[in-house]
Amino acid sequence: MSDQILWFASRGSGVVSLLLSTAVVCLGFLIVVRWSRPNWPRFLTAEFHRRLALVSIAFVGLHIATAILDPFTSLGLVAAVVPLASSYRPVAVALGVISVDLILAVIVTSLLRERLGHRVWRAVHWLAYGAWPMAVVHSLTAGSDAFAAWMLALTGLCVVAVLGSLAWRTAVGGEIRSSLPTVVATPSQLPGIARRRIG
């Protein structure tokens, strides 16, 4: 009975982690394009993004802990941190391990952001976007019920949400970039720009 509880806890926490990380990635795209609304300012979006990321990490930790304790996988502590060290579906587990390592790198650099500088932090922060597809493939290949209809539906929704957010970010980002010449115009260009707007 306890073994079954561990399996459900491991699988359930893994699914919740995928859903939360999907929401974190989508919010990340919103923050990049400086999305905000009068009743939902941008700083609140950024804060919600950070808090949701921490909750996601908590579920990732629960997923790893229960996977280590679950005798069905016999994962072990080493296999939980070293890619390809698992005897149970080594490639699938390795993708999950690498995904977690990338997320941990983002967390550590975020804690040291003031010391590292914005450029280094931003470069490492982009790793989070690489961690997400690895987590998706991990969820589809590591679980014994990965191809159950409900799991495929949830994974499909996650993929659609991220691709939709990426498409929206690309479109809006293009509009923002096209407006940059006006924003960064030199003083000698400003009178001409003002005349064009007035005319």
Q: What pLDDT, in 10s, does the model give residues 20-47?
A: 999 988 888 877 665 555 565 655 567 7
The predicted structure's pLDDT at residue 155: 93
CA 170 – CA 183 distance, rounded (Å)? 19
Q: Give 52-98 pLDDT, tens digit per residue.
A: 888 999 999 999 999 888 887 778 888 888 889 888 889 999 999 99
Task: Tell me how far the alpha carbon of residue 171 is from its chain's centroid.
Answer: 20
What is the share, in percent, of the chain residues with pLDDT greater than 70? 78
Q: Over 50: is that where the pLDDT of 185 sits?
A: no
Q: What's the pLDDT at 1?
A: 45
pLDDT (0 to 100) of residue 107: 82
More confident residue, 194 or 161: 161
Q: What is the pTM of this model?
A: 0.77
Answer for the pair 74, 85: CB distance below 8 angstroms, yes or no: no
**Choice between 147 and 178, residue whose per-residue pLDDT is larger:** 147
pLDDT score of 174? 56
Tell me the percentage of the chain whose pLDDT exceeds 90: 27
Instruction: Kindly list the domain boundaries of the chain, sorted by start residue.
Output: 2-198
Is there a contact between 52 and 101 (Cβ–Cβ < 8 Å)?
Answer: no
Question: What are φ and ψ of residue 35, in 5° steps?
Answer: -70, 135
3-state class percentages of the chain: helix first, strand second, coil last, to nearest 5: 80, 0, 20
Q: Which of 124-138, 145-159, 171-185 comes out lowest in average pLDDT?
A: 171-185
Q: How far apart are CA 165 and CA 30, in angstroms?
A: 8
3-state DSSP assignment of residue 89? coil
From CA 105, how far away is CA 126, in angstroms rounded?
10
pLDDT band at 144 (very low <50, low <70, confident <90, very high): confident
**pLDDT for 187 beyond 60:** no
The answer to whether the CB of 77 falls within 8 A of the CB of 31 is no
pLDDT at res. 43: 56
Q: What is the pLDDT of residue 135?
A: 93
DSSP state of 148: S
Which amino acid does the sequence have at 144?
Answer: S
